[in-house]
Copies of this chain bind each other. A is one copy, B any other.
Amino acid sequence: MNQNKIFGNWINGKEVHSGSLPFSTYNPILDQPNSGDFIEATADEVSQALEYASKDFYEFSRLSGDRRGEFLDAIAYEIEALGDDLIQTYCNETGLPEGRARGERGRTLGQLKLFADEARSGSWQMPSIDLAIPDRSPLPKADIRKVMLPLGPVAVFGASNFPLAYSTAGGDTASALAVGCPVIVKSHPMHAGTSFMVASAIVNAVHRTKMPKGIFAHLNSRDHRIGQQLATHPMVKAIGFTGSEKGGRALFDLAAQRKEPIPVFAEMGSVNPVVVFPEKLEHENDQLVQELSDSIMLGTGQFCTSPGLIFGIEGALWKSFCAQMGSSLSQRATQSMIHPNLKYAFNQMKSEQLKHAGLKTLCSMSEVNGPNHVGQSLLQLKGVDFINNPHFQHEVFGPFAIMVSCKDWEELDLAISCLKGSLTGTIMATQESLSSHVSLIEKLQHRVGRVIFNQVPTGVEVCASMQHGGPYPASTDSRFTAVGNDALLRWVRPVSFQNFPQTLLPKALQTKNSLGLDQRIKSIKK
């Protein structure tokens, strides 16, 4: 990456900039700005990007799944071709270790290829056919067929904590492009360089596979202005966002207040409760201390599935487990946050929590090892205090968790019942002990998107059965997932065709089924 360059916005296949507000990214390890100036998109440029996207939407959605698959594969190829330059930029802009950067790139390429396969398979169109019954009494039944169609241009907001997998060419972008929705990316200011490079790869892929040029745009953005313009623009038909509850809710509110409201898929805050059974501690105490501490520290706690609340039943085993968790975390070196702003936010949210009565400290690192490091923290709290103060359910984004000590199962059940929505809920138990508390599974499943048995919540598998999303505030729409094959269902809606001649039906609905799809064919009782 040429670090002395002025970096513009990608619109209609070209890099342009007419704005005058340069900003730069920050290296949290060196504690200094990275070189290179990014020029924020102007309001006119945002509008232009949407005009192009709307115009090219029809042509793009009309392309075959094979063509869109080719395009997504080409994006993966072009990102890989950026080589170590991308990895270096990623590390400079996040302070995250190189291994993490390479791992996340691998996942991003994997996602692009998965959605390329989904585009080719076309199964997302979910064709449904009700054959006509002309002799039905009292009225004949018409031939009615239903298929999924893309919504239109989608605005994607990159996440601070996953510059590749949940950003520019991440799951939102890949799944939207797979079904034929143009994508406008609002770049995250903390990793504008990584984002710019990935955007250039997408634009190269657009040219190489001869896609309509308006279907992708990438806008530099230093604050909330561009996000607000996108959320309220009549040509934006849906929004994908990963980030804080505050940011996601602001977009949700703007979108809900539009003349024509649009769906917002904001994957936001989550405290990811973990319930630890006494029987588990009897057998696997040491392993659990290790695994949970690792999970809390992973990515300096900057994971949406980072465990923030750990529930147990008071007693000698729990007491010892809490102490060991505190000591295990205290023995670890502190780590850097991605950006000084996130360090500041972590320290502020932590002090907010500590103002509330009832917390006992198990681990609190006051000295840190580097400029943007934060001290991991583990607190302890009585179940009754947790139940009575919803403030303890606020997410502290970073390495922070509270051990909630419940006096008995009844109190633990009550604590679980009053949980706000989370992405995940974990049960650490023996199979036998959980079998005698199955109501806990039932309570937890209605508060989260993914229930986990004896594994840590961090680490989200990209697969067909993944649900990444949960009741509010985990996400603004718990009926859809941000990760895995079904993520593309966020960008489509069903349309029926009644009494249509075969040749004028969408291919997915034609009886000859040239796409080889799994058509749901129903005949109705007369």
What does the 1/0 interface line of A467-494 toward B look like (CB < 8 Å)? Answer: 1000111001111010000100000111
Give chain A interface residues in 481-526, CB to chain B under 8 Å: 481, 486, 492-501, 503-504, 520, 522, 524
Give chain A interface residues in 439-472, CB to chain B under 8 Å: 441-442, 445-446, 448-455, 459, 461, 463-467, 471-472
For A128, the chain B residues whose CB sits under 8 A away are: 464-465, 486
For A152, the chain B residues whose CB sits under 8 A away are: 446
* Highest count of chain B CB atoms <10 Å: which of A139, A263, A471, A522: A471
- Which of the candidate stretches A27-35, A80-88, A142-150 sits at the interface with the other chain? A142-150
Q: Is the CB of A463 within 8 A of B144?
A: yes
Q: With A463-B522, A493-B478, A494-B481 in contact, do A442 and B62 touch (Cβ < 8 Å)? A: yes
- Which of the candidate stretches A253-261, A325-333, A370-378, A394-402 sits at the interface with the other chain? A253-261
A129 at the interface (CB under 8 A from B): yes
User: How many of these chains are in the complex?
Assistant: 2
- Which of the candidate stretches A158-166, A213-221, A430-438 sits at the interface with the other chain? A430-438
Q: Which of B449, B465, B477 contacts A522 (CB 8 A)?
A: B465
Residue of B nearest to A128 (CB): B465
Q: Is the CB of B494 within 8 A of A524?
A: no
Q: Is the CB of B465 within 8 A of A145?
A: yes
A23 at the interface (CB under 8 A from B): no
Q: Which of B451, B486, B494 contacts A500 (CB 8 A)?
A: B451
Categorize the interface residue count of chain A.
Answer: 35 or more
Residue of B nearest to A524 (CB): B463
Shortest CB-to-CB span from A286 to chain B, Å, is 20
Q: With A494-B479, A499-B454 in contact, do A146 and B253 touch (Cβ < 8 Å)? A: no
Q: Which of B442, B452, B472, B495 contacts A498 (CB 8 A)?
A: B452
A130 at the interface (CB under 8 A from B): yes
Shortest CB-to-CB span from A98 to chain B, Å, is 15
Q: With A260-B471, A263-B479, A479-B494 in contact, do A501 and B464 touch (Cβ < 8 Å)? A: no
Q: Is the CB of A58 within 8 A of B494?
A: no
Q: With A149-B445, A431-B504, A455-B499 in contact, do A486 and B479 touch (Cβ < 8 Å)? A: no
Q: Is the CB of B260 within 8 A of A252?
A: no
- State A520–B123 Cα separation when bound (angstroms): 12
- State A295–B504 Cα separation when bound (angstroms): 25
Residue of B nearest to A146 (CB): B465
Q: Is the CB of B496 within 8 A of A479?
A: no
For A149, the chain B residues whose CB sits under 8 A away are: 445-446
A141 at the interface (CB under 8 A from B): yes
- State A263–B256 Cα separation when bound (angstroms): 11
Q: Is the CB of A144 within 8 A of B445?
A: no
Q: Is the CB of A261 within 8 A of B494?
A: no
Shortest CB-to-CB span from A466 to chain B, Å, is 6
Residue of B nearest to A127 (CB): B465
Q: Is the CB of B466 within 8 A of A144?
A: yes
- State A144–B464 Cα separation when bound (angstroms): 9
* Highest count of chain B CB atoms <10 Å: which of A435, A455, A493, A496: A496
Residue of B nearest to A420 (CB): B260
- State A79–B503 Cα separation when bound (angstroms): 44
Residue of B nearest to A478 (CB): B493
- State A263–B265 Cα separation when bound (angstroms): 13
Give chain A interface residues in 103-159, CB to chain B under 8 Å: 128-130, 139, 141-142, 144-146, 149, 152
Q: With A256-B252, A465-B129, A479-B263 in contact, do A449 and B496 touch (Cβ < 8 Å)? A: yes
Shortest CB-to-CB span from A454 to chain B, Å, is 6
User: Mind listing 24 A-B residue pairs with CB under 8 Å?
Assistant: A58-B442, A142-B461, A144-B465, A149-B446, A252-B256, A260-B471, A260-B472, A431-B504, A438-B504, A448-B495, A449-B495, A449-B496, A450-B495, A450-B497, A450-B498, A451-B498, A452-B498, A452-B499, A453-B499, A453-B500, A455-B499, A463-B524, A464-B520, A465-B522
17 further A-B pairs in the complex, CB-CB below 8 A; given A142-B461, A450-B495, A451-B500: A128-B465, A130-B463, A130-B465, A139-B459, A142-B455, A146-B464, A149-B446, A260-B471, A448-B495, A451-B498, A452-B498, A455-B499, A464-B520, A467-B496, A479-B492, A479-B493, A481-B494
List of 6 A-B pairs having minimum Cβ-Cβ separation, nearest first: A256-B256, A467-B496, A146-B465, A450-B496, A130-B465, A128-B465
